[in-house]
C-alpha cells in the first residue's frame, strides 16, 4: 500500500518540536511530504531536523522564545523567508510546570504557567494571521489538554481553557478568510523522560504525592483507564492538520480515551 502524502509540498510549522509530541508530529509530517519548520528554544531541535533529513525529508529549524511576541514574529518571518508561504501552523508549546493544589501556587508560579501554556499559542496565532489572510488560506491546529477538568494544575488548566476559547473564536472570525482553526485536547501521554525538564528543581516528597494524584485522576477519568501513546496523539493532530478535515473548524477534539476534558 502506498504511503499517504497528505502534506506534499505544504509548508508546516511545528512549535515545541525538540521532543515529545512535537517531535513526533514534525517527523510524521515530513515523512508525508511536508516542508517542516521546527521551532523550539532548545538546541535539541537541531537533532530532530537531522533525523528528518536522514530520512530524505524537508526540515528547517528556528530557535526562538515563543513566550514573547517578538519570538513568534521571528518564527513566522523565518518560515516565509525560507518557503514563501505558510500552510499549516501547529501550536504545541506548553506543559504544566508544577503539580500542587492551587492554594500552594505563588503569584510568580501562576504567571509562569500562563506564560508557558497560553501565550505561545496566542502569539503565534496573531503572528501568522497576516500571511494566511494574504494567501486566503491556512490551517491552525492548537494543542490543548483534557486537564481543563483536572486537579493540582489549575493555572495550566486555565491556560488550556483559554486555548480552547481562542480556537473557537478565531475559527469563527477567520472562516471568511479561508482559515480553519481546530485544537486537539491531549490526554495523559506516555513519553520518554524529558531531556529538558519544565521544572529544573527536583520534586519534593510532597510534590511527588501531588503529581501521582494527577496521574491517578487522569487514568480514572479516562474510560479506557490508561495513558495514550505519542503516536495516538500524532495521528489525531495530523488528521486536523491535513485536508482530510477540510469541513471541520472551531472544534476541540479530545484524545484522552473518552475523557472529554
- Domains belonging to the chain, first-starting first, are 11-255 (3.40.50.720)
Say what the pLDDT of residue 142 is.
98
- The pLDDT score that the predictor gives to residue 191 is 83
Angle formed by the axes of helices 230-241 and 20-31, nearest 10°:
50
Cell for 86? 505558510
Instruction: Specify the pLDDT at position 197.
Output: 67
- Rounded Cα distance between 208 and 223, Å, is 25
pLDDT at 1: 60
Q: How far apart are alpha carbons 253 and 245 in whole angstroms?
A: 12
Torsion of the alpha carbons at 98, 49, 189 and 67, rounded to the nearest 10: 30
Q: What is the pLDDT of residue 3?
A: 75
In the chain, the N- to C-terminal Cα span, in Å, equals 36
Phi, psi of 35 (to 5 degrees): -95, 105
For residue 125, which of 160, 174, 60 has the smallest C-alpha distance? 174
Residues designated as active site: 156
Query: How far is it, in rounded angstroms, from Cα 9 to Cα 83?
Result: 10
Q: Which residues of the chain have pLDDT under 50?
A: none
Cα angle for residues 129, 146, 18 (degrees, 5° grid): 60
DSSP label of 33: T
Amino acid at each position: 500500500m502506498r504511503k499517504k502524502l497528505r502534506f506534499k509540498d505544504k509548508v508546516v510549522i511545528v512549535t515545541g518540536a525538540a521532543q515529545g509530541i512535537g517531535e513526533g508530529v514534525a517527523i510524521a509530517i515530513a515523512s508525508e511530504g511536508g516542508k517542516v519548520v521546527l521551532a523550539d528554544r532548545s538546541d535539541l531541535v537541531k537533532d530532530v531536523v537531522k533525523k528528518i533529513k536522514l530520512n530524505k525529508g524537508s526540515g528547517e529549524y528556528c530557535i526562538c522564545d515563543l513566550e514573547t511576541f517578538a519570538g513568534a514574529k521571528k518564527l513566522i518571518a523565518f518560515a516565509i523567508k525560507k518557503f514563501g508561504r505558510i500552510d499549516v501552523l501547529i501550536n504545541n508549546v506548553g506543559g504544566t510546570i508544577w503539580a500542587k493544589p492551587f492554594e500552594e501556587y505563588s503569584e510568580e508560579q501562576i504567571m509562569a504557567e500562563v506564560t508557558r501554556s497560553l501565550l505561545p499559542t496566542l502569539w503565534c496565532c496573531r503572528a501568522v494571521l497576516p500571511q494566511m489572510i494574504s494567501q486566503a488560506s491556512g490551517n491552525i491546529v492548537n494543542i490543548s489538554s483534557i486537564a481543563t477538568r483536572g486537579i493540582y494544575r489549575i493555572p495550566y488548566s486555565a491556560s488550556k481553557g483559554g486555548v480552547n476559547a481562542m480556537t473557537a473564536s478565531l475559527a469563527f472570525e477567520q472562516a471568511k478568510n479561508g482559515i480553519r482553526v481546530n485544537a486537539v485536547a491531549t490526554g495523559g501521554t506516555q513519553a520518554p523522560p524529558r531531556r529538558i525538564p519544565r521544572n529544573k528543581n527536583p520534586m519534593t516528597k510532597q510534590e511527588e504525592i501531588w503529581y501521582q494524584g494527577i496521574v491517578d485522576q487522569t487514568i480514572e477519568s479516562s474510560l479506557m483507564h490508561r495513558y495514550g501513546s505519542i503516536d495516538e496523539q500524532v495521528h489525531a493532530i495530523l488528521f486536523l492538520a491535513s485536508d482530510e478535515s477540510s469541513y471541520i473548524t472551531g472544534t476541540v477534539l479530545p484524545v484522552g480515551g473518552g475523557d472529554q476534558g
